[in-house]
Amino acid sequence: MATVLQIGSSIARGNVVMLKAENWYAAAALCRQLVEVEYLVWLFGIEPSEAQAWLSATQEDLRRIFSPSALRKCSEGRFRDQEYWRHCELGGHPNPKAAFLLPEHILPDDKHSLPTSEWMWVDLGQHLERLWSFAEIATKALGLETVRIVVDARRDIDNVLQRWHAEDACADRFRSFPE
């Protein structure tokens, strides 16, 4: 659990750096990676023994059992193919649909859409919030909810989430849309 959460933390920090640098394509690729971390943490919450299985899995088993498509199937609809594929189209797999994320291709924003930076920050925030909700479930399932670092993280993250929802209208508005 610690390993996958540290991977997620590293991805999230890198995503923030890329967003601040206005490197939209790289930020999108990192957000896709974060979605894959969400899948794993969710799995560890519903089946705690899978955390150890993942940690000791062969490369073949990682591809067969713990691949994004296998985990989406296992989720029985919790994670939609379309959401993941959209993230793949915008970052991670070279795709012409992602051209608008490149500096040479960015068009002036029209009046009906959020600027790239705004929707990407919201998307990152919502994936991190979803990841945190899965981490809460998984730490309980693994019997780790009283570990000091988990208790401290819970307090700090809950405070950040409350502040975000209080200060940013997009935090809740986009949550009501289908995933």
Condensed to tens digits (0 to 9), the pLDDT of residues 117-135 reads 788 988 999 899 999 989 9
Provide the pLDDT for residue 127.
Answer: 93
For residue 44, pLDDT beyond 90: yes
Q: Is the pLDDT of residue 55 over 80?
A: yes
Q: Quick one: average pLDDT of 91-106?
A: 83
Percent share of the chain, pLDDT over 90: 54
pLDDT of residue 104: 74
Domain ranges of the chain: 2-176
The DSSP annotation for 116-148 comes to: HHHHHHHHHHHHHHHHHHHHHHHHHHTT-TTSH
- Contact assessment for residue 127 and residue 35, using Cβ atoms and an 8 Å cutoff: yes
Please tell me the predicted confidence (pLDDT) of residue 106. 59
Lowest mean pLDDT among 29-33, 51-55, 85-89, 95-99: 95-99
The pLDDT value given to residue 179: 40
Which region holds residue 21: left if phi is over 0, alpha if psi is between -120 and 50, else beta? alpha
Residue 16, pLDDT above cutoff 60: yes
Q: Name the pTM for this structure.
A: 0.84
Residue type, 126: Q
